[in-house]
Amino acid sequence: MRRMRERGEVPPAEGSSDFIVRKMTVEDLPAVMELEQASFRNPWSAELLKRELAHDWSTILLLEAPTPEGGRRLLGISIFWIVHDEVHVLNVATSPEYRRRGVARCLMESTLAEGRARRCALATLEVRRSNEPAIGLYKSFGFRQVGVRPNYYADEGEDAIVMVLDF
């Protein structure tokens, strides 16, 4: 476990031994941009991701799986901030062909574990009202709806559901 931390890796979620979770580096930017573009109509820009890598309070976790050739394939990412006693989840993305296979669950487990390790008291996030699979996932962790942000996603004018989890 200590060796994993030194390499920037995070212990995998229980039952997910084939997954590797680690912190993003600037060298990962091309693969992360490809995943963002495949996952969202309005993906994060390379410049924004680079800025997140530079902030002490920001973490970008990558979830990878080993390939038969001995390499790794990026399956998902989680971007979150830890500010004071709060984990604020900004973005969770799963490669479209790997959805519903435990990738987002493993990323959320790792994200929340990082918050607990840093003695956070709560986790917050916003999710599109129409994203029922994500809402179901967050509820399975104990997140509850505490509000709505009207027209939060300006591109489509969609509302965001604000969710909170107390640790």
152: annotated active-site residue:
no
For the chain, give the percent of residues with pLDDT over 90: 81
Q: Comparing C-alpha atoms, which of 59, 55, 56, 32 is closest to residue 45? A: 32
For the chain, give the percent of residues with pLDDT over 70: 90
Does residue 94 or residue 3 have the better pLDDT? 94
96 DSSP 8-state letter: G
Q: How many CB atoms lie within 10 A of CB 117?
A: 10
Confidence check: pLDDT of 67 > 50? yes
DSSP one-letter string for 132-166: HHHHHHHHHTT-EEEEEEEEEETTTTEEEEEEEEE
Mean pLDDT on 14-20: 65
| Per-residue b or e along 65-76, where b marks 16 or more CB atoms closer than 10 Å to that residue's CB | beeeeeeeebbb
97: annotated active-site residue:
no
Mean pLDDT on 42-50: 94
Mean pLDDT on 83-90: 97
* CATH classification for the domain delimited by 2-81+92-107, as one of 3.10.400.10, 3.40.50.150, 1.10.260.40, 3.40.630.30: 3.40.630.30
Angle at 139 between CA 24 and CA 36, to 5 degrees: 30
Strands (E), 67-154: 72-83, 86-94, 122-128, 144-153
Rounded CA separation 88/111 (Å): 10
Residue among 14, 34, 138, 158 flagged as catalytic: 138
Query: What integer pLDDT is reported at residue 34 of this predicted model?
Result: 96
Rounded CA separation 96/91 (Å): 15
CA distances from 12 to 90, 102, 113 (A): 21, 12, 10
DSSP one-letter string for 23-53: E--GGGHHHHHHHHHHH-SSPPPHHHHHHHH
Query: What integer pLDDT is reported at residue 14 of this predicted model?
Result: 43
* Global confidence as pTM: 0.88
pLDDT tens column, 97-137: 999 999 999 999 999 999 999 999 999 999 999 999 999 99
Residue keyed to tokens 């820009």: 45
Which range among 9-13, 69-73, 80-84, 130-134 shows the weakest confidence by mean pLDDT? 9-13
β-strand pairing of 9-10 with 122-128: unpaired
Residue among 6, 27, 126, 152 flagged as catalytic: 126
